[in-house]
Amino acid sequence: MTLAYVALGANLGNAARQVQEAIGWLGELPQTRRLAQSSLYRSAPVGAQGPDFINAVVALDTALAPLELLHALQALEQRAGRERPYPNAPRTLDLDLLMHGQTECRSETLTLPHPRLRQRAFVLRPLHEIAPQLVDARWLDAVRDQAIERLADPAA
């Protein structure tokens, strides 16, 4: 089993509900168990247009290889109605594989760790919430000007 981290985001439809449903779907993947999930966060689009995003990060314990997990994530995006009419288009669901154990790779299909992980508050803040040992304080400082807000727990 390998510890993997997945970033979730959505900014079309009921984005908060879509992200929460996707968190549940991640725990249903074969040979995979959901270990932790961050709070939901609202963030302005970075390098994209459209409404604000709802974001989260999930920790998984998985026996899926990196490419198998990536393909499973893409299938979940399709399940949520994800369309890709142009780069950085608004989306019903975006799932990014951030890390898969200690795997380092760079291919046309997959780069691990995720190449923009350190540049995005909407990834670093929720990742820091569930795995603070993985997020360097300098990375958080570098993205401090990016608008992001932790949402109240809907169960509270």
Radius of gyration (C-alpha) of the chain in whole angstroms: 14
Q: Is residue 28 part of a domain?
A: yes
Q: Is residue 59 part of a domain?
A: yes
Q: Is residue 128 part of a domain?
A: yes
Per-residue pLDDT of the chain (156 residues; tens, 9 = 90+): 999 999 999 998 899 999 999 999 999 999 999 999 999 999 988 777 789 999 999 999 999 999 999 999 999 998 987 776 566 667 889 999 999 999 999 998 899 999 899 999 999 999 999 999 999 999 999 999 999 999 986 543
CA atoms within 13 A on the CB side of 95: 27
- The reported pTM is 0.92
Domain that holds residue 93: 2-150
Q: Is residue 155 part of a domain?
A: no
Strands annotated E in 14-64: 32-37, 41-43, 53-62
Q: Is residue 7 part of a domain?
A: yes
Residue 53 token pair? 């995003």
How far, in Å, CA of 94 to CA of 92, rounded?
7
Q: Is residue 73 part of a domain?
A: yes
Number of domains in the chain: 1
CATH code of the domain in which 45 resides: 3.30.70.560
Q: Is residue 156 part of a domain?
A: no
38-48 burial, b for 16+ CB within 10 Å, e for fewer?
Answer: bbbbbbbbbee
Q: Give catalytic residues, as residue numbers.
A: 82, 91, 94, 96
